Amino acid sequence: MDIEHPEFLNFLKCAKENKLRDLCIGGYTVNYYGFYRMTEDFGRMDSTDQSK
């Protein structure tokens, strides 16, 4: 993964501007939005900031 790719940098910028705290990724999430991926994996990232 290219962490300096413009799309990834834009994602990080938008996440920060919108105070993103949780993120769901993987096959289940992709399938939810109608793009079929048969891996059926699921990942979740939680904020490490416990003050919120």
- Residue by residue, DSSP assigns 1-52 as --TT-HHHHHHHHHHHHTT--EEEESHHHHHHTT---TT---EEEE-S-TT-
Q: Domain for residue 50, yes or no?
A: yes
Taking a C-beta distance cutoff of 8 angstroms, is the pair 21, 50 a contact?
no
- pTM higher than 0.85, yes or no? no
pLDDT: which is higher, 17 or 1:
17
Q: Residue 51: its pLDDT value, please?
A: 58
Q: Domain for residue 37, yes or no?
A: yes
Q: Domain for residue 13, yes or no?
A: no
Q: Domain for residue 36, yes or no?
A: yes
Q: Residue 34: its pLDDT value, please?
A: 83
Q: How many domains does the chain contain in total? A: 1
Assign residue 48 a region: left if phi > 0, alpha if psi is -120 to 50, beta otherwise?
alpha
Mean residue pLDDT of the chain comes to 77
Q: Residue 2: its pLDDT value, please?
A: 75
Over residues 11-30, the pLDDT tens digits come to 889 989 999 888 877 777 77
Over residues 29-52, the pLDDT tens digits come to 777 778 777 776 667 767 666 555
Give the separation between CA 8 and CA 27, rounded to whole angstroms.
19
Structural domain including 31 reads: 21-52
